[in-house]
Structure 1
Amino acid sequence: MGLLSRLRDVLRREAVPALSMDDPSLVVVVEAFDIAEADSAALARSPQWRADELAVLRHHVRIPAEQVERARELLEPDGWVVEPGAVSLISRVQKLDALHCAQERSRMASLAQRLGGDALGWDALQPAR
């Protein structure tokens, strides 16, 4: 990657407004809980999703209580926040596109399987407009 490409990437990141997972205006704009549906199809069927804005990607994963700390250890270095519960919510702010959704869905399914749990699906939140 050349210097000009890196500069363009930095400028794009700076142009995108910050988003907080605690933003009270967040609403679910897309859901994907059917394992047979492609992530690209889930995004395409959502008229509320805004591809040019950041979103909170939130995975719904059943993790045994004794494995929640291990999940945190594995995920927090990459910016994920793990909220334990009967169904744990694993969230982070990111740009949402089909490729990254599919990669992260696969990662969460693998993690859940290794920890004796089950990945149920994901949803994404953006500020209401």
Structure 2
Amino acid sequence: MSLLSKLRDLLGRPAEPELTADTPGLVVVAEAFDPVEADSAVLARSPRWVADRPAVLRHHLVLPAGRVEEAAAILAQDGWDLREVTRTGDEARLHATRVQVLDALHCAQERSRMAGLAQRLDRGRTAAVAG
């Protein structure tokens, strides 16, 4: 195929819509709720995971309700969006979401980061889901 043909193909293709946490039709490609399971094992057992495609990484957090704004400000510095799912008394269940290409190293780093944030804000419960 000539360079001109390749260029025509590229210019003629409609651009893929930007992926967001609100993109319709998202499906879970991998999930990890066991803190001792390696991220590489989670991704390896997922038939839907595509290594070079972006996905929505979603962490489930449980934080004190009074610390949600602080958590949102900290996470926003690195492009995370924090959404409240439910609130019961002084406890808030949240989803931290960000679009990124998934690989074991970055998933492990982000899981560790979320655990550190939860501990810093006086809770220690997190889990990750990638869609």
Same fold by TM-score greater than 0.5: yes
**Distance (Å, rounded) in 2 between the aligned partners of 1:99 and 1:55:** 15
Q: 1:113 aligns with which of 109, 113, 119?
A: 119
Q: Which string of whole-angstrom CA distances, capped at 9 and with x for unpartnered residues, describes residues 30-84 of structure 1?
A: 0011111000000001011111210000000101100000001101011100012
**Mapping 1:12-31, distance limit 5 Å:** 17=16, 18-31=18-31
Q: Tell me the residue number matched to 1:99.
A: 105
Q: Matched residue of 2:98: which SS? A: strand
Determine which structure has the larger helix proportion and give its number.
1
Q: Runs of at least 4 residues of structure 1 off by over 6 A? A: none
When the two structures are superposed, what TM-score results if normalisation uses the length of structure 1?
Answer: 0.81
Uncovered stretches (5+) of structure 1, i.e. residues with no partner: 1-15
RMSD: 1.4
Q: 2:93 aligns with which of 79, 82, 87?
A: 87
**Distance (Å, rounded) in 2 between the aligned partners of 1:98 and 1:119:** 20
Residue 120 of structure 1 deviates from its aligned partner by 2.6
The number of aligned residues is 110
Q: Which has the larger radius of gyration?
A: 2
2:126 corresponds to which letter in structure 1? Answer: L
Q: Which string of whole-angstrom CA distances, capped at 9 and with x for unpartnered residues, describes residues 67-119 of structure 1?
A: 00000110101110001234210000011000000000000000000101223
Contact 2:114 2:126 in 1 (8 A): no
Between the two proteins, what is the percent identity of the paired residues?
57
**Distance (Å, rounded) in 2 between the aligned partners of 1:106 and 1:120:** 9
1:70 equivalent to 2:70? Answer yes
Q: Matched residue of 1:63: which SS? A: strand
When the two structures are superposed, what TM-score results if normalisation uses the length of structure 2?
Answer: 0.79
Uncovered stretches (5+) of structure 2, i.e. residues with no partner: 1-14, 87-91
1:90 corresponds to which letter in structure 2? Answer: A
